[in-house]
Structure 1
Amino acid sequence: MNLGDRLAQQALTTGKRAILTATPPGIIRLAITLPDDSIQHFERQASGSESDWRAAEFATPGAGCIFDEPVTAAWGRGLNALTLAR
Structure 2
Amino acid sequence: MTLGDSLTAYALNNGHRMARVSAPSDIIRLAVTLPDDTIQHFERPATGSAGDWRATEFQTPGSGAAFNEPITAEWGCGLEYLINAITS
TM-score (normalised: structure 2): 0.96
| Counterpart residue number, 1:81 | 81
Question: d(CA) in 2 for partners of 1:18 and 1:47?
Answer: 21
> How do 1:1-86 residues align onto structure 2 when only pairs under 5 Å count?
1-86=1-86
Structure 1 unpaired stretches of 5+:
none
Moved over 6 A (4+): none
TM-score (normalised: structure 1): 0.99
Structure 2 unpaired stretches of 5+:
none
- Count of aligned pairs between the two proteins: 86
CA positional deviation for 1:26: 1.1
Give % identity. Answer: 58
Encode CA deviations 1:26-66: one digit per residue, 9 max, x unaligned: 10000000000000000000100100000000001011000
